[in-house]
């Protein structure tokens, strides 16, 4: 859907808006300063699951 907005009808504009909401482009301006300054976490940034070994080490 790379049509210019002026060539889209009302329904096409609505569909394009919904698609942008689901998968925004890289050029979207953040909604807030907090969103702009928040760094995404790495997959393992919150740590893993504790094992029984971890529990016994902490005693």
pLDDT at 1 > cutoff 70: no
Strand, helix or coil for residue 28: coil
Q: What is the pLDDT of residue 45?
A: 67
User: Binning pLDDT at 50, 70 and 90, where does residue 25 land?
Assistant: low
Q: Which residue has the higher pLDDT, 12 or 42?
A: 12
CA-CA distances (angstroms) from residue 16 to 8, 20, 30, 35? 9, 6, 19, 23
**Which residue carries 């210019």 as its tokens?**
4
Q: Are 6 and 16 in contact (CB under 8 A)?
A: no
pTM: 0.32
């Amino acid at each position: 859907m790379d049509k210019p907005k002026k060539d889209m009808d009302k329904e096409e504009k609505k569909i394009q808006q919904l698609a942008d909401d689901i998968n925004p482009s890289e050029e979207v301006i953040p909604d807030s300063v907090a969103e702009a300054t928040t760094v995404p976490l790495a997959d393992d940034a919150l740590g893993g699951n504790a094992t029984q070994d971890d529990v016994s080490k902490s005693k």
